[in-house]
Structure formats: C-alpha cells, structure tokens
Amino acid sequence: MAVIVPTGQVTSTQNLQVAQYTLTPPVGTNVFIQFSQDMSYGMKTSTQPAPTTATPLSIYVAGMLPSTEYHMRGVLVLSDGSMVYDDDHTFTTGAIPANQIPVVTTTTTPGLTPQPGVEMLDLIGGTTARFVAATNLSGQMIWSYPFTATTSDVVQPVRVLPNGNFLVVISPTSTAPTDTTPPVAGTIDVIREIDLAGNVIHEVTLDSVNAALATMGSNLTLGVFHHDSLVLPNGHWIVLSNMVKACADVPGCTGTTSVLGDVLVDLAPQSDGTFQPVWTWSTFDHLDIARAPWGLPDWTHCNAILYSSDDGNLLLSSRHQNWIMKIDYENGAGSGKILWRLGYQGDFTLVGGTDPTDWFYAQHLPSFTTSNTTGKFGLGVMDNGNSRKFASGVTCGTAGEPPCGYSAARVFQVDESAMTATLTFTYLPGEFSIWGGNVEQLANGNIEADFNAGSPTGHSDIFEVTQDGSQQVVWHMQTSAQNAYRGYRIPSLYPGVQW
C-alpha cells in the first residue's frame, strides 16, 4: 500500500539561523530532514521516530548561513528501509549584523583533508551577542546562541549533549568572589541546557543550589559557577563552583588573606524538572593549603571536569596546582579521596620527556584520546606553560636555552598501574597561550589544539595537526578580536550525523 506523505510546514524560530519543520508522519516511520542551498539536499538532521499517535512532529533544521535561501524536505523511513519524500520547501534565514558575526579566517594545507565537521567556539571578548558560535570549516558562522546578560558575564563552556542540546555556563569569571569590583547589576549566574533554537530546556541558578545546600545542612556556600560543567550518562549534572574561606578557617593557613577554593556539586534531576545536590566535593577537604604555587587568594583555580566512564570517577584540572587529579566519585558513591595527581610534583614519573620542563603548567581541558579511560589510556592536555619549571642549570630565555614562556599541545599515555606518564606527542607552534584552550584527538587520528592567545582583545589559533612525526598543519583557524576559550570539532549539529 502506498504511503501518503503529509505535506510539511516550515516556520521560523527565535534563532535567525534555525527553521522548524513540522509534519504528521504515519505511525511506525522514522523522520529526518534534508536541506541545502540547492535541491541536492546535501545536509541532514538526525532521525526521530514518529509519535505513537498520528500527531505532528517538529524537527529543528540548523547549520545554515545567515541571509541565505535553503531548500529542505522531510524524509520518511519506512519499516522496510525504503524512503518517501515530502515536497520541496524553501526557507530564508535571517540577517545578522556583521558586528555580531565572529571574524575568523581558515586555511587548509593543499593536498591535505581535515576531519569533516563543524567547529564549535566558546568566545570571550569582542562582540557582545555571539559568544557561542559554530562555523563550517571555511569559517562561516552556521549557528550561534545569542543571550541576554551583562558585561560581567562570560560563557565557560559550551558542551554538546548526547540528546543534541547544549549545556552552557553563563556567569562572572571565577575570581568574582574575591574581586574588589563586584559584577554589575543584572549579571546572571546560571547553567542552562538549551536546544538548537535557543529555548531553555533546564536552568539551574547559583541561588537555587545554595538554597538546596542550606536545606540539606551543608556548610558550603558557593561563590560562582565557572569554567566547566558536564552531564553524566545517568542525567546528573556535575557543576564546578567555588567558595571563599577566611584563612583562619583553613587548617595550616597563616596570615589574613581569604582563600578561594573550588567545589564540585553533583546535581540529580527531579521529577518536577529541578536539580538537587546529592554529592559534594571541596578542595578545602582534600588539598594542603601549604601547596599554593600561584599564591592566594586564588588557590586552586580549577577549570575542567572529565568523566571516566570505565570506573565512574572524575578527573579535575587545577590550573593553580599544575595538576590533573583523579577523584573517587564512583557515580556518586565515592569517598571523594584524591586517587592520584598527574603533573609536576605529583604521583607519576614522566617518561619520554624532560622532568620538570615537559610536564604541563597552568593547563586547560584534559581529554581522553583512547576509548578506555582507566589502566593505560591516552590523555590530551593544553599545556599553557605559565611559570614553567626548568631543569637544574637551565636558565630560560638565555642564549641556547628555551624561552621562559611557551605553550604546547601534549598527549600522554597514562599508566595507572606503573604510575608513569609517557609523553607521546608534543606540538609547539611557537605561541605563549597564557590561558584557555584545549587539545582533542579527532576521528581521523589528528590532534586539534586551540591555542588561546590570552588577551581579551587578542586572537586564538586553532590547529589540526597530524599526530605522526611530521606534525603537518592540516587546517588552521584564527579568530580576530576574540579569544576562543575552547574551540573543538564536532561531526555536525546533530547526534549521530556526520557533515
């Protein structure tokens, strides 16, 4: 029996680059949308099942350039795998002012092919409306998330979720609790899950978490959300915050300077759509105040959380300790004990590099480069290099010696049994990226490294480099007048879809 394709309807959304395609598919079919600037329909959304009753299904279509006409059509996938197509529809995206479009340039080395996909950017400084943006590999903005906030607010970071939504932290910078100038009135401090159109699906405010902590009798009062957050496979959110303690209240602390330390909170989703704290962890309970390489008050300055799926534990990057620490979390049942500390003066022996020079310093965003996350595994790290330590007898910056300030993209093979960290890859572009950035291994085996130049009015260089001995630059993006706190490749704006 022939399947009658219901004619779809395409409408605009609050996001000028996102359309909503609505149709009523027959029960038992699956649906996706094809689209492109012509009728070749070269791009597609993810596939969704038809509702169990004959009711409308809406799918967001995203990944389009501004001020551009697109063709799109719905595709029904029948139970036998055959496909039936809706009529062609056109949609013209909205115009975005030029000063709200990130200025980036990209180059691809002739004869080389970069890993396909989309570049997701978390931008700081410069323009005020497009801090979260995605571009194609030519540097054209194909999606963004404009939001209302103040000049005190930054986005750190944006994470792509398995359901196709995004998690963003919008808040003042991490030092706000000890800054002499408070954030301006109207500054927000939230973690949001948003969809492609920018609709807020869930939102957690700092005030709501502090109220919940007080209700449960916790002695934690959070200062700001900052730098990172992540969603676990069970739907829990792990959020990074901080708190201030008087030096007199910190064992081993001397003097009168207050101490700013970091806190992790596990937020569990509730049936009413809220999130409640069920597990907490504080640097004040697990680190020695006597070890303060960067001094006080900004004692730990943690900036990234990583989930180890093999054992349910957490990795936490502390910039001001020059350490990546593994925390006994065990999916919420752990003691919080620090299982090991990776880095200078930590628990591992460095192999394949010069100790202490080739450890990481003031690092950002570790990422797993292997499918396994325990035992022997790969770990990429942006080694920003601030206050790097050198071997005895080496005077950095002098003739014949390395410069005092330089940054490196590094990959280590971590062996938790032998307690060794073998340096397997180092990329040195000759830049000093004093904050921000990340290192990821791409699906094609190349390394992508974001060297965030460090000035709020500066730029960032993002390189895709081969991981072999040649270290060829395959692809290069440079931002202008904005820093990319993070810049990383994703297959597309849709889970399970490669563009």
Contact between 445 and 84 under an 8 Å Cβ cutoff? The reply is no
For residue 488, the SS3 value is: strand
Calculate what percentage of the chain has a pLDDT beyond 90. Answer: 93
What whole-number distance in Å separates Cα of residue 432 and Cα of residue 294?
Answer: 18
What whole-number distance in Å separates Cα of residue 261 and Cα of residue 243?
Answer: 6
Q: Which H or E element spans position 214?
A: helix 206-215
- The pLDDT value recorded for residue 283 is 98
Find the mean pLDDT for residues 285-300.
Answer: 97
Question: Chain centroid to CA 207: how far?
Answer: 23
Contact between 302 and 316 under an 8 Å Cβ cutoff? The reply is yes
Of 453, 487, 449, nearest to 123 (Cα)?
A: 487
Find the mean pLDDT for residues 74-81.
Answer: 94
Is 447 a residue whose pLDDT tops 60? Answer: yes
- The pLDDT value recorded for residue 453 is 75
- The pLDDT value recorded for residue 127 is 64
pLDDT tens digits, 84-99:
999 999 999 999 999 8
pLDDT tens digits, 143-195:
999 988 888 999 999 999 999 999 999 999 999 999 999 999 999 999 999 99
Is 284 a residue whose pLDDT tops 90? Answer: yes
Widest pairwise Cα distance in the chain: 83
| DSSP 8-state assignment for residue 298 | B
**Mean per-residue pLDDT over the chain, rounded:** 95
For residue 49, the SS3 value is: strand
Q: pTM for the full model?
A: 0.96
Confidence of residue 385 (pLDDT cuts 50, 70, 90): very high
- The pLDDT value recorded for residue 458 is 73
Give, rounded to a whole angstrom, the gap between the first and last alpha carbons of the chain: 34
pLDDT tens digits, 318-337:
999 999 999 999 999 999 99
What whole-number distance in Å separates Cα of residue 463 and Cα of residue 461?
Answer: 6
Q: Give the pair of three-digit tokens for residue 123.
A: 């931008």
Is 128 a residue whose pLDDT tops 70? Answer: no
Q: Give the pair of three-digit tokens for residue 158.
A: 């944006």
Query: How many Cα atoms within 13 Å fall on the side-chain side of residue 67?
Result: 6
What whole-number distance in Å separates Cα of residue 78 and Cα of residue 75?
Answer: 10
Cβ partners under 8 Å of residue 289, min gap 6:
250, 251, 252, 253, 259, 299
Of 407, 486, 495, nearest to 448 (Cα)?
A: 486
Of 357, 410, 356, nearest to 383 (Cα)?
A: 410
The vertex-399 CA angle with 395 and 400, nearest 5°, equals 85
CATH 2.60.40.10: does it fit domain 9-92? Answer: yes
**What are the residue ranges of helices labelled H in 350-416?**
none
pLDDT tens digits, 201-251:
999 999 999 999 999 999 999 999 999 999 999 999 999 999 999 999 999
Structure-derived torsion over alpha carbons of residues 339, 345, 348, 351, reported in degrees to the nearest 10: 160
Find the mean pLDDT for residues 463-485.
Answer: 95
- The pLDDT value recorded for residue 481 is 84
What whole-number distance in Å separates Cα of residue 492 and Cα of residue 496?
Answer: 8
- The pLDDT value recorded for residue 28 is 93
- The pLDDT value recorded for residue 413 is 98
Domain extents in the chain: 9-92, 302-441
What whole-number distance in Å separates Cα of residue 178 and Cα of residue 78?
Answer: 60
